Chain A
Amino acid sequence: MTRRSLLSRLAGLWIVPVVLVLWELATRFAEQPYFPSPSSIAVRIQELWFSGPLSRVLLTDDAIDAFAPSLGRLFAGWILASLAGILLGVAIGRSAKLADYLDPMLQFGRAIPPPLLVPIFFALFQIGTATQLAIIVFGVIWPVLLNTADGCRTVDRQYLETARVFGFTRTDVLWRVVLPAATPKIFAGLRLSLSLALILMVVSELIGSTSGIGYGLLTAQQNFLFVDVWAYIVLLGVLGFLLNASFLLLEGRILAWHHRARRTI
């Protein structure tokens, strides 16, 4: 990120307080139980999760009980899907034959909304962590897989010809040419998957779970605790934002050559 783009991004943040104020005014004016004011939501968030002891960075027991299993599922699912997606994607991207064989299946699998497969996963793994992971993995593997395959298929011809002329071994071609050349696309896939993983984490907890953020959201809803419901929604939004921001930070380091090469050309 250049300094200029960082500054202009920060400058764009003026919209946040404006929206908050408008939201506050609108909810106070309307006095609807379904739409609590942002200030009451903020207070509730603090009560629920951030009024714990300092030694635990203010996190309450509730917060730890809700966040830990959710984040565990989120990352476990995302990492599993990423590994599998990259592995399969490389195989498909490097072998036209494999791509021809698998393409119809991939298109079929990709078109299925993962929640529809929930009954099948239940039958396979019973209710529990395995099912929840299966839902997440199945839902988020596609962007990684397809982007990796695309990235490996579209490596600049001259890069491969150079490797061929100098007699690189197959492993060197894969690790030192194809994979680095494909990283920008692989990372785009990983980022998309991460945001999808958050959504599917909630979905998986709504269906078969007794812990986590999704479960908490569902319980609050069933007990008509609207402020709590909104607290969960805001929490998910912030979590999504943080995940994306950390990912971008990591990507900026690993793909420095890519971003900087692009800028100078």
Chain B
Amino acid sequence: MLELVDLTHRYGTYHAIDRINLTVKQGEVVCVVGPSGCGKSTLLRSIAGLIKPTGGAVLLDGRPVESTPDNLAVVFQDYSRSLYPWLSALANVGLPLRRRGMSRKARDEAAMAALTEVGLGAAAGKFPWEMSGGMQQRVSIARALAYRPSLLLMDEPFGSVDAQTREELEDLVLRVCAHHGMTILLITHDVDESVYVGDRVVVLSKAPGHVVGDLTVDLPGPRDQIRTRELDAFVKLRADVGRMVRGMSARRFDNGMTHEVETR
């Protein structure tokens, strides 16, 4: 469904990502992990058509992406600025549904249902500036889920919530996406989360980011917060990914050249 071919981007002379190749199948959940500043958000913004990559191509269903693809939803890393302060949480979630041809009532209902699912049913009438960071982040997730996109891009979507809520949100996203056949690209810096949520985990190197590992997570589904994390396979995969990510930061003090790292 989504294919990145030698995707490269430079901000002026600064080389942010370097020849990223990646194929994501329909309905797949792919997690991207990598050190801070390695170009994860840049990668996401290129896919969303918000920046024009300086090299390579993004293909959706075989066709190159020239502008923002249709049927896409994004949970931005900078969640607080992606909600409109002049609208309530409910109106923020409902606004994108206007183009779905839904009536006002249907939109409000769908928005309310999504807010309830992220645990904010009681806060639907609140404005973004009346909410904590974690609440804003959940509104932003609710907006993306209510929209029912075919491709969902999430940039560290659970960064500001407590561990308990985080687990609930992980399960919610997996459930909704499985139910509606969405394809997800989720960026995180949490190794544990990437293995738990992903069907695949892609590890990026430090800047300029390129793919240094691409692991298939074949854990039995449906996932369960306690049992899945106990599995030997889970523990092993987590160690593998952890080693790769750590390998990247350990090599920072080498000569700074790119390294080929084995996939497993």
Contact = CB atoms under 8 A, between A and B. Distances in A.
Interface string A91-122: 00000000000000000000000000000000
B95 A176 contact: yes
Interface string A154-180: 001011011011111100100011001
B96 A177 contact: no
B84 A261 contact: no
Contact of A158 (B70, B82, B129, B147): B82
Contacts of A156: 81
Given A164-B68, A166-B96, A261 B74 contact: no
A265 B127 CA distance: 13
Contacts of A159: 81-82, 84
* A interface: dominant SS: helix
Contact of A169 (B49, B78, B99): B99
B86 A180 contact: yes
A151 to B, nearest CB: 13
Contacts of B71: 167
A176 B107 CA distance: 16
Interface in B69-87: 70-74, 76, 78, 81-82, 84-86
Given A168-B96, A168-B99, A257 B85 contact: yes
Contacts of B129: 257, 260-261, 264-265
B50 interface: yes
A56 interface: no
Nearest to B149: A166
Contacts of A183: 86
A186 to B, nearest CB: 13
Contact of A177 (B49, B78, B84, B127): B84
A165 B72 contact: yes
Given A158-B78, A264-B129, A265-B129, A167 B96 contact: yes
B48 interface: yes
Contact of A261 (B68, B85, B99): B85
Chain B CB count within 10 A is highest, among A162, A169, A264, for A162
A28 interface: no
Interface string B36-57: 0000000000001110000000
A241 to B, nearest CB: 29
B82 A166 contact: no
Interface of A: 156, 158-159, 161-162, 164-169, 172, 176-177, 180-181, 183, 257-258, 260-261, 264-265
Given A159-B81, A168-B95, A169-B98, 7 more contacts: A161-B48, A167-B71, A168-B98, A172-B95, A177-B84, A257-B129, A265-B129
Considering the complex of A and B, which 10 residue pairs feature the smallest CB-CB distances, nearest first? A166-B96, A261-B129, A158-B81, A180-B86, A165-B74, A261-B85, A257-B86, A162-B82, A164-B68, A264-B129
